[in-house]
A and B are shown apart, each in its own frame.
Chain A
Amino acid sequence: MSGGPIQRRETVVPAPLGRAKGRAERMGEQTREFLAFALAGERFALPLASVREILKLSPITEVPRAPRDVLGILSVRGRITTVIDLRRRLRLPHGEVTRGARVLLVDAGVEVLGLLVDEVFQVYRLSPDEIELAAVVAGDLSDYVYGIGRPGAVERGAAADEIMILLDPVPLLRR
């Protein structure tokens, strides 16, 4: 379903109150829907509720003096939106922008930011046993990693190519 339109979500992610509770809400403890995308050959996913919109790549205006991981700005229906180079933010190797590249508009609490990704896959609905929480996997992961998603883990064991890193948008986009 790469490139196909995905329904636009107007849901506003509530600002995290207590960290634990906020995170649980953000990560969709009830719905557990994640939008998976590719970046530098790896598979990541963000909670669907935090993704406002998926945009095709339009010219991005570079902003001199901006932080290194800021690609620039673009106008989303008249609103100036900052676009982040997610590769830089995640310290992944630099790569060419491909035809499948998309900008995810993600609500990061204080601001809606654009995230440049290589390709958008699909929405996964994950049950609790398809998610390994970061705290369980390893103690020293970055705070923006929520856990590992293993769709289909229950029925047929983990298919390695469908493993995805679940990201928590708020710590990810906090500066």
Chain B
Amino acid sequence: MTEDEDGVRAEFIAEAQEIIELLSRDLLVLDHGQKEGHPDPDLINSVFRGVHTLKGIAGMFGFYDLGEVAHGLEDLLDQLRLGRVELSQEVLDVLFEGVEVLQRLLASAPDAPRPDLGAFHRRIQSQLGGPAPPPPDLAAFGLDTGVLSVLTEYEEHRLRTNIDQGVPLYRLRVRYALSSIDTDLEDLKSRAKPIAEIITYLPSMDGGDDDSIELEVLFASRATVRELRNALALPDEAELEAVAKVAPSATIPPPARAPTQQPASPPTRFPPPPSGLAPPAPGHDGGADALSLRAVAKTVRVDIGKLDHLMNVVGELGIVKSSVGKVLDRLRGVPELRALAAELHRIHRGFERHLDDLQDGILDVRMVPLGQTFDRLARAVRQVAREHGKEVRLAVSGADTEVDKLIVEELTDPLLHLIRNAIDHGIETPDERERLGKSRVGTLALNAYQKGNHVVIEIEDDGAGMDEERIVSSAVARGAITAEGGAELARSDKLALIFLAGVSTAEHVSDLSGRGVGMDVVKTHIARLGGVVDVHSQPAVGTKFTITLPITLAIISALIVRAAGRTYCIPLTVVQEALLLDPREVRTVEGREVITLRGATLPICRIARLFDLETPAEARVKEYVVVTSLGQRRVGIVVEGLEGQEDIIIKPLGPSLRSVRGFAGATDLGDQRVVLVLDAPSLLEEVFAATAATEARGARGEASA
């Protein structure tokens, strides 16, 4: 495959991926609506359009299998939106399966063997409805034939449905400037959405000039004229009137026949359109396609590598900025150049401001809402719950919380894992729940929110919870801790044992407690993103995992410190405070140094000892403790000096240093000064592991004594 073809293929895949994700999102909402008993017809139509577009581009790019599946789904959706097939859980199952199939096809290699899609097509066929609908009988509705003759099949269906349900019809005549009609229409649609259903809109004959166009909008709503005027924020000159009383029983000849008598109603507002403004042919929703094209044109897909490059350039500009600052300082020292220095100072300040804006802008582009990930999870919840015969209600909050794109991508797997565990092992079967006096439907809550420089994601179930004693005994069985050590652990520490590699890889834990398979993997994943995961659980009540992540990986504020005669950066996101170390405060517990900070014990670690470095003798005049915390753990890092705070770009160390633990990367502080950035989560981990090991050794020693 040539490079060009690769590019085209990648472009298609990206676009198709977007469409499929949107489909999946809409289907989930539909699923919810169906369960509540009122699926949104607009959404069915939106899903239909999405599949239609997908079919089109798949054909264009030679993804024939994918196109065929999309075609099958389109047939089913077409019947759904026209009301010929009822939206049922079975139909939704097929549609969800369709999304999975599409995704699988998209992910498969270009030269992979063609999958057998026969079974899936048969399932689609089995859902397809039967006979054509009864002939339309709309004409006598105070609607003139001009309108009726140009309605698409779908619009006609919606009109009929509304009439059948006794929803009054309205006609709106409103003028929009040609230059802004797109946004005006979108605005009208979104305002109408909560209280009215727009059935169709057409340009009116008698009211167009060079700069503006008059639209006739037909819609159904139970609201009054006054309410509609307010809700739609109509300009005063817009005309809004009820079309006619709805008479569902009226027998009316179909529109194809000659126009019958009109009720005494306003003059004809829907003349047959001139050929130049021909509306879309029935059955082909051209208007909708045009709209989706517009939506696409407003966004640009960007390779994240390009953003990284821009970020690098920003970093270099930052170095330029500090060099200019130094020149400025030198100029200031020369009396006859004062004026020049002042001018340069102003320019420098401006440059700094714009550079900050640029940096914020690039960071902002990298941010995506967690919603995309949550949608994927919601699909998994539905699937896993059905597989295991559980009834699960998913409660999502904070889907609009934004996180760095890279983090979002790495987050899906660990979250999926936690969710699967929660449904598989946490939430009981409906019968079991009933017996326990719980509601038959289990609840899985997915909450996200921002907390300072971090994003917190919680996964909480109201299932069986975890039994910490069983976790401890299996950890003891694996030799990860001693029985005595285990007995002394606090409750939360016992639960945290599920994250130990030695324990969690043991099938025993998952057998006994129902959790643990791959929990260490979840933890490693999260740690790689600079985050931590904590667990709370109560037997019979439920389990809650809390993941704390930095918002972005690209640029961080860091504390610059001197330790062991060297300079290091500590990400400010983990720094709680820094204070002067009083050497008299240091106590030794089990061979570890600790201090007491506001009544709580704080383990401290010395960089020199941690990294096995020789400290220059003169360095140790004063020492500071930088209190770092992640989740619920705190460690004080002892340093010799605090040099200030700076925004830094973390750059990865090369492959040959990948196995070196303890550093998140390095950064350029200018002056050719490369400084290592401490990897706080891994260092915290290390200090705690060492503490735990000491305790375990201590416990063993006592036991043998």
Contacts and interface: CB of A to CB of B under 8 A. Distances in A.
Interface of A: 58-59, 61-67, 70, 73-75, 77-82, 84, 110-111, 113, 175
Given A67-B656, A78-B651, 16 more contacts: A61-B674, A61-B676, A63-B653, A64-B662, A65-B611, A65-B661, A65-B662, A73-B666, A73-B676, A74-B674, A75-B674, A78-B312, A80-B654, A81-B654, A82-B654, A110-B655
Nearest to B673: A59
A150 to B, nearest CB: 33
Contacts of A59: 672-674
A63 B657 contact: yes
7 contacts: A61-B674, A63-B660, A73-B654, A74-B674, A75-B668, A78-B651, A113-B656
Interface of B: 312, 315-316, 566, 611-613, 651-657, 660-663, 665-666, 668, 672-676
Interface of B, secondary structure class, is: mixed
A64 B613 contact: yes
Contact of B652 (A64, A67, A70, A80): A80
A113 B655 CA distance: 10
B611 A79 contact: no
A103 B505 CA distance: 45
A70 B656 contact: yes
Contact of B666 (A61, A65, A77, A111): A61
A16 B528 CA distance: 31
Contacts of B663: 63
A65 B658 CA distance: 11
A73 B674 contact: yes
A96 B622 CA distance: 33
Contact of B668 (A67, A78, A111): A78
Contacts, number: 68
A76 B672 CA distance: 9
Contacts of A70: 656-657
A58 to B, nearest CB: 5
Given A61-B676, A75-B668, A175 B660 contact: no
A61 B675 contact: yes
Nearest to A64: B611
**10 nearest A-B pairs in the assembled complex, by CB-CB distance:** A64-B611, A82-B654, A61-B674, A75-B668, A80-B651, A80-B666, A111-B655, A75-B674, A65-B660, A58-B672
Contacts of A78: 312, 315-316, 651, 668
A64 to B, nearest CB: 3
A55 to B, nearest CB: 11
A64 B655 CA distance: 16
A110 B654 CA distance: 10
Nearest to A175: B656
A73 B675 CA distance: 9
B138 to A, nearest CB: 68
Contacts of A64: 611-613, 662
B309 to A, nearest CB: 10
Contacts of A84: 656
Contacts of B662: 64-65
Nearest to A61: B674
B639 to A, nearest CB: 14
B329 to A, nearest CB: 22
A82 B657 contact: yes
Contacts of B675: 61
> Which of A66, A78, A113 is the most central at the interface, judged by chain B CB atoms within 10 Å of its CB?
A78
Contacts of B674: 59, 61, 73-75, 80
Nearest to B663: A63
Given A59-B672, A65-B611, A80 B653 contact: yes
A62 B564 CA distance: 12
Given A64-B662, A80-B651, A75 B316 contact: no
A104 B315 CA distance: 25
A138 B219 CA distance: 91
A74 B672 contact: yes
A65 B662 CA distance: 9
B218 to A, nearest CB: 60
Contact of A62 (B566, B652, B668): B566
Contacts of A62: 566
A138 B613 CA distance: 42
A70 B659 CA distance: 13
Nearest to B668: A75
Contacts of B666: 61, 73, 75, 80
Nearest to A174: B656
A34 B353 CA distance: 49
B655 A66 contact: no
A55 B612 CA distance: 30
A103 to B, nearest CB: 13
Nearest to B666: A80
A78 B315 CA distance: 8
A66 B655 CA distance: 12
A113 B656 CA distance: 9
> Which of B652, B655, B657, B663 is the most central at the interface, judged by chain A CB atoms within 10 Å of its CB?
B657
